[in-house]
Amino acid sequence: MTAPRTVGKPMIEAQLRQVAAALAGEFDNRSQSLADPAWYLHLRLWQRPLPLNLFGEGYGLFLEQISVTSGQPPYRQRILHLTTKAGGLWGQYYALADPSTYLGGATQPDRLVGLTRDQLVALPTCGLVIERQADGQTYSARLPDDSLCTFTANGITTYVRLAFDIGPESAAPGSPLVFQMNDRGIDPDTGKTTWGPKMGPFRLLKQCAYALPG
């Protein structure tokens, strides 16, 4: 996947809203974890829509997840901005300058209303090309040209290969949406995976949907 495919503006705007609506919600991989607990933690992921004025165009989502059985607080707080770039769909990630300020914000959305751009940390290498697949309902997101998302926290630089897919679990009418999360830590010297799913992506079924603003 190297560059977004160019389509007409009305169509790309419709696709942008479609993928944003699919991603907005609560997701859980309980069935996958029960079937194969040695390889898959039981995760719960929230992707909560943010006010439109945060970015001024496209859709912003506040992401947060928990390991359900760990008893630990939510972690991996981040922002995903869904927008268009070069005539195609684009997903740009941002970190939070102080993630602890919004700890638990996914289930307390009123706390996210005051989020502003100056509280976000730009991650210029962490943007995804998003493409609609042939079924018209599934979207796949990958880093361009097999690049790596890089960021530095506490003096440590981390390299991540980001990837996700969102679409119906099957072709059957009314099939639930499944979010396939395949983020992996990468050793840049060897190209080997240092963390992340080893037996295929986490498959999180959508439990409930959140309405998009506007």
Percent of the chain at pLDDT > 70 equals 97
- Are the C-beta atoms of residues 102 and 60 closer than 8 Å to each other? no
Number of domain units in the chain: 1
50 is a domain residue:
yes
Question: How do residues 136-190 score in pLDDT, each as one tens digit?
Answer: 999 999 999 989 999 988 888 999 999 999 999 998 998 999 999 999 999 999 9
171 is a domain residue:
yes
CA–CA distance, 99 with 74 (Å, rounded to integer): 10
4 is a domain residue:
no
For position 6, what pLDDT does the model report? 52
Question: How do residues 159-169 score in pLDDT, each as one tens digit?
Answer: 999 999 999 99
For position 4, what pLDDT does the model report? 46
Could you tell me the CATH number of the domain that includes residue 149? 2.40.128.590
Question: How do residues 39-57 score in pLDDT, each as one tens digit?
Answer: 999 999 999 999 999 999 9
* Domain that residue 191 falls in: 9-208
**CA geometry: angle 58, 158, 191, nearest 5 deg:** 105
CA–CA distance, 180 with 203 (Å, rounded to integer): 5
